[in-house]
Structure 1
Amino acid sequence: MTSASLPPLPANAVPSNELIWTGCYTADSGGNGTGIGALRAGADGRLRRLGVAAAADSPSFLAVHPALDVVYAVGEASRTVRAYRRSGEFGLVPAGRAWPAGDAACHVAVDPLGRFLMVACWGDGQVLLYELDADGGISARFAAAATIVTGRPSRAHASLVLNDGRVMTTDLGHDLLRVWNYVPSQGLRLDHELALPRDSGPRHLVQHPGGTVLVVTEYSIEVAVVQSSPDTGNFGLAGIGPATSAGALPGDSAAEIALGADGRHAYVGVRGSNRIGVLEVDVDGSALRPLADIPSGGDWPRHHLVRNGWLHVAHERSGDVVTYPLDPESGLPGDAVGSLVLASPTALVPPVRQARPGPG
Structure 2
Amino acid sequence: MTAGQELIFYIGTYGSEEENRIHWGAMDRGTGELRLLGGTAGIENPTYLDFDDSISVLYAASEKGESDVSAYSANLVNGELTLLNVQSTGSSGACHVSRTSSGKYLLTTGYSDGHISVLALEKDGRVGEITSKIKHSGRGLRDDRQSEAHPHSIFEDLLNQYIVVSDLGMDDVNLYRLEDGKLVTHREISLPPGSGPRHVAFHPSGKWVYGTNELNSTVTAYANDATFGDLKILQHISTLPEDVVMDSNTSSHLLVSPCGRYLYASNRGHDSIVQYVIDQEAGTLRAVNWVSSGGKTPRHFNILPDGFLLAANQDNGLIASYRIDPDTGNLVSTGYTLEVTRPVCICPVEKAKA
Instruction: Check whether TM > 0.5.
Output: yes
* Per-residue deviation, 1:38: 0.4
* Per-residue deviation, 1:68: 0.7
TM-score (norm 2): 0.89
Q: Name the counterpart of 1:176.
A: 172
TM-score (norm 1): 0.88
Q: Work out the number of aligned pairs and report it.
A: 338
Q: Aligned ranges for residues 10-49 of structure 1 at < 5 Å?
A: 16-27=5-16, 34-42=20-28, 43-49=30-36
Q: By percentage of residues, which structure has more strand? A: 2
Indicate yes or no: 2:152 matched with 1:157: yes
Q: Aligned ranges for residues 190-339 of structure 1 at < 5 Å?
A: 190-211=185-206, 212-229=208-225, 231-246=227-242, 247-284=244-281, 286-307=283-304, 308-339=306-337
Question: Is the alpha carbon distance of 1:58 and 1:39 closer, same or farther for their aligned partners in structure 2, counting shifts above 3 Å?
Answer: same
Counterpart selection for 1:79 from 67, 89, 96:
67
Counterpart selection for 1:108 from 68, 75, 97:
97
- Secondary structure at the counterpart of residue 120 of structure 1: strand
8 Å Cα contact 1:24-1:347 kept in structure 2: yes
Q: Which has the higher contact order (CA 8 A, sep 6+)?
A: 1
Counterpart selection for 2:54 from 51, 64, 67:
67
8 Å Cα contact 1:315-1:344 kept in structure 2: yes
Name the amino acid aligned to 1:172: L
* Per-residue deviation, 1:335: 3.4
Question: Is the alpha carbon distance of 1:36 and 1:300 closer, same or farther for their aligned partners in structure 2, counting shifts above 3 Å?
Answer: same
Counterpart selection for 1:139 from 128, 141, 153:
128
RMSD of aligned residue pairs (Cα, Å): 2.2
Q: Distance in 2 between matches of 1:106 and 1:33?
A: 20
Identity within the alignment, %: 23
8 Å Cα contact 2:199-2:211 kept in structure 1: yes
Q: Distance in 1 between matches of 2:325 and 2:248?
A: 30
Q: Distance in 1 between matches of 2:107 and 2:314?
A: 24
8 Å Cα contact 1:54-1:93 kept in structure 2: no
Q: Which runs of 5+ in 2 are unaligned?
A: 141-146
Q: Which runs of 5+ in 1 are unaligned?
A: 1-13, 356-360
Q: Distance in 2 between matches of 1:241 and 1:233?
A: 24
* Per-residue deviation, 1:55: 3.8
Q: Distance in 2 between matches of 1:354 and 1:68?
A: 18
